[in-house]
Amino acid sequence: MTPRERFREALLFGSPDKVPLSPGGPRESTLAVWHQQGLLQGRDYYQVLLEILGIDPGPTQAKVSLDVSFKMIPQFEEKVLEHKDGHYIVRDWMGAITEISDEYDYTYIRSAKDFVTRKWHKFPVEDRKDWEEMKKRYLPDTPGRFPEDFKQRCEALQERDYVVNLGVNGPFWQLREWCGLENLCMLMIEDPDFVQEMIDHWTDFVSRTLAPILENVELDYICISEDMAYKEHSMISPRMVRKFLLPTYQRWVPELKEGGCPLVSLDSDGYIGELIPIWIEAGINCCVPMEVAAGNDIVEYRRLYGKKMAYQGGIDKRAIAKGGKVMRQELMRQVPPLLEEGGFIPGCDHGVPSDISWPNYIEYSRLLAQLTGWI
């Protein structure tokens, strides 16, 4: 099977020859520790891992990216407003005023290169005047949103052997970036019409931006980023999810599936047990990363929801860090039975933290490779 066929078969409850080996990716601080523990500088950790395990990934085609942007255009100019007491205060590219430790370069705000804590002082949308300016940055036909050679890229993807996926922000995630979590929650109570107006704009923007993609290339997978749960509960109630978010999902999911994309995944940290039934109702058919420390148990979820939902991740990072018997028990508890049923690509239940040593990561990956059919 090609990697593309294998991925689809694994998550769509088919019959893959092997399940994709996806142990989880390290952040920058994790790699720094691994380099002290034997991983050579300048080498890709995953390639080294495959060499250690004796796995030949097989020939792969040169990958072509769609390079379509769902970000604001134009972005705000990044600017350091203040640097004192070990912290930068920065206006980031999204227009928020953010504080970050000067242990990191302020550009860490752009992407999740590491486990970095931030503090927000101000968000770009505080009232309707701010919103009128913000929404101008999210127009599907803005120059630069699609590459000039978009059609040629789509043509090059017709006969690919690899997975092509996209990631988009869900409405909760996007409005939180515009307004901030507390402000958004208050607006949902005090000015729901304003919240709905912003959601409607975002829903339409994503839908219209996706349309040319779905017309020209068959996606394998799309991931909706929401991050809408704490350790024990959702950040907003299931009732509010149904009111504000479900209509967006119910528009996007049919459009995606009618366009040939069979897998629509939702990415949220935290405890998502009370949200999964709503996502299933919307037609979402995969969840990631399934954090165990937040109380998620994919074995129990499979019992409750059967083959209505597939999962990626789900391996307790704390057990991987301990290694040995603890790690083995964690994997054997859930990986074999779920792999037998299908709809599961196991891996670390979030980015791999630095307390997972390089030797323990290799030990864990070796067992995972055995269970998924690679060795």
Would you state the pLDDT for residue 84? Answer: 92
d(CA 194, CA 328): 50
Q: How far is CA 17 from CA 59, 199, 296, 339, in A?
A: 16, 42, 28, 12
Nearest to 33 by CA among 252, 314, 357, 278: 357
Identify the pLDDT of residue 126: 96
pTM: 0.95
Looking at residue 117, what is its pLDDT?
84
| Contact call for residues 207 and 247 (beta carbons, < 8 A) | no
* Strands 344-348 and 118-122, bridge-based pairing: unpaired
Helix 358-371 to helix 324-341 angle, to the nearest 10 degrees?
30
Residues of the chain with pLDDT under 70: none
Token pair for residue 35?
């380099």
Cα separation, 153 vs 356, whole angstroms = 39
pLDDT for 161 equals: 95
Q: What type of residue is 80?
A: V
- Strands 221-225, 344-348: pairing is unpaired
The pLDDT of residue 106: 79
| CA 373 vs CA 62, 196, 335: distances in Å | 25, 47, 12
Q: Report the pLDDT value the prediction gives residue 57, as an integer from 0 to 100.
A: 85
Instruction: Using only the alpha carbons of the chain, give its radius of gyration.
Output: 21
Report how far residue 218's alpha carbon sits from residue 361's, in angstroms, rounded to the nearest whole number: 35
Residues 6 or more apart whose Cβ sits within 8 Å of residue 283: 249, 250, 253, 254, 257, 264
- Measured at the CA of 197, the angle between CA 196 and CA 199, to 5 degrees, comes to 60
HSE, side-chain direction, 13 A CA sphere, residue 131: 15
Domains of the chain: 3-71+125-371 (3.20.20.210), 77-123 (no CATH)
Residue 273, Cβ neighbours under 10 Å: how many? 18
pLDDT computed for residue 59 by the predictor: 77
